[in-house]
Amino acid sequence: MTDFELMLNDFRLTTANIFYYFPDHPSLIQTYLWQDYDKNPDFPVLKKFLNFWEKELDGKLQGVEVQSCDIIKPCEVIHAKCEIVIN
């Protein structure tokens, strides 16, 4: 599917700030920024990525902060209150 088709099917641009323990220094926390189109509130694409992370990567997850917003919004129309004529 194209990005536009995903938006029409109620997918939204989703950003996740993933906090994980640095593998070489477990007392330090790193962040990873992830962004993709996903469905709110279940977030199946993000869950698939996090499952992959836990199985394949060394950094243990500490937490995830998720933001999501609508992409397709009603058009805003602003009517001009005056008209300027230039010769």
Q: Reduced to 3 states, what is the DSSP secondary structure of residue 32?
A: strand
Provide CB contacts within 8 A for 51, sequence distance 6+.
Answer: none
Q: Does the residue 31 lie in any domain?
A: yes
Q: Does the residue 85 lie in any domain?
A: no
- Domain containing 23 equals 3-69
Q: Has this prediction a pTM greater than 0.85? A: no
Q: Does the residue 37 lie in any domain?
A: yes
Q: Does the residue 75 lie in any domain?
A: no
Q: Does the residue 87 lie in any domain?
A: no
Smallest CA-to-CA distance from 13 within 2, 3, 1, 23 is with 3
pLDDT tens track for 2-36: 888 888 788 898 999 999 999 899 899 999 999 99
| pLDDT value at residue 73 | 64
Provide CB contacts within 8 A for 33, sequence distance 6+.
Answer: 15, 16, 17, 18
Q: Does the residue 27 lie in any domain?
A: yes
- The total of structural domains in the chain comes to 1
